[in-house]
A and B are shown apart, each in its own frame.
Chain A
């Protein structure tokens, strides 16, 4: 109980701390932050339920007014802004990512975690993100999708990093990768 609770809380803090790492700008000018990598790691390391809870805890603190999102942003305004859909999608993305890592056990962890992070952290997350953007900006789904495609290459890179990190963590701290425990 204590261990699960603390792991959930510390991964929520990890998502916040990853937001403080300076953002990398891709070759064609799109900035990427490590924050959504944190969401992917919650799924791949903590598994479906604990991963989703960690992300929910992080979002709760953002909503209550802690400046935990990349760039020191936070507060309720973000939940009605055009990127609100991505925030709603975060816990579901972590859940799906974690579920895939828990269920798919007959392949190398690097591959499984990488693909899980891509399906959860990109496919599932963007479904919510695009719907949110289409509502707040009053655009069709296709139009909203066009607005976010520039960010997909960065997210593919993050999914690959999440895969490698999870496999490395499973070697270094096998008992702490709860998705496979």
Chain B
């Protein structure tokens, strides 16, 4: 399964996932309570610093992951230029970039399996109470396994459509696509039951 973890090894990879998530929570809360533009500048610089430690390639990938924010940054810039409040605009834009940047950093330096371990740990109190957490673990595995399978079936349907029509398929393939997913679900459920159930 593809994940967003960076293949570039960084010092942050070896930190425990739980610690990183805890620090991220604290950092995000602090960012949303600060209003001083210089503190936000410092926080943003620190965030870039964290990305720079592992080297240029890592920094570049990190920047690419922030590109999706540009429409929002454009709105903020235009808005605050028009209303004549550039400092407030800078605070909002910097906060957005730092908060999303730090969160992406945790995602980029933590393997999916380590994240799943944290979830299991957080769920352990439920096990003490007698609730079964195994269904959730199976469900996570099923989604990870079936997303590429369904994506492939979607591509096959698109090819089948293209073989019959000069036009591109639009919403028409969603019906057979959903049917395939439902049929798969019925088969997998039967297979799980046949193997002793959950």
Contacts and interface: CB of A to CB of B under 8 A. Distances in A.
Interface centre among B107, B149, B150, by most chain A C-beta atoms within 10 angstroms, is B107
Given A5-B138, A75-B104, A13 B193 contact: no
Chain B interface residue count: which class? 35 or more
A169 B181 CA distance: 11
Interface in A125-181: 136-139, 147, 161, 165, 168-169, 172-173, 176
Contacts of B3: 65-67
A73 B100 CA distance: 12
B51 to A, nearest CB: 13
Contacts of B75: 137, 147
Contacts of A139: 79
Contacts of A101: none
Interface string B4-18: 110000000000000
B185 A10 contact: yes
B178 A5 contact: no
A105 interface: no
Contacts of A76: 24, 103-104, 106-107
B96 interface: yes
Interface in A38-66: 41, 45, 57-58, 60-61, 64-66
Contact of A65 (B5, B69, B186): B5
B107 A74 contact: yes
B76 to A, nearest CB: 6
Contact of A66 (B1, B24, B66, B136): B1
A20 interface: yes
Contacts of A57: 136, 139-140, 143
A80 B28 contact: yes
Nearest to A135: B32
Nearest to A80: B99
Contacts of B182: 7, 10, 45, 169, 173, 176
A9 B186 contact: no
Interface residues of A, number: 55
Nearest to A61: B143
Contacts of B110: 65
A6 B185 contact: yes
B115 A65 contact: yes
A20 B198 CA distance: 31
A8 interface: yes
A74 B68 CA distance: 11
Interface string B157-198: 000000000000011001101110111111011101100011
Contacts of A68: 147
A18 B65 CA distance: 21
A26 interface: no
B61 to A, nearest CB: 12
B103 A79 contact: yes
A9 B175 contact: no
Q: Which of B3, B144, B182 has the most CB of A within 10 A?
A: B182
Q: What are the 8 A-B residue pairs with the smallest beta carbon separation, nearest first?
A: A75-B107, A9-B142, A76-B103, A17-B150, A64-B115, A77-B103, A77-B104, A13-B146
21 contacts: A5-B138, A7-B189, A13-B149, A16-B143, A17-B147, A17-B177, A34-B174, A58-B143, A61-B140, A65-B110, A77-B103, A80-B100, A81-B68, A81-B69, A137-B75, A165-B174, A169-B178, A169-B179, A172-B179, A173-B179, A176-B182
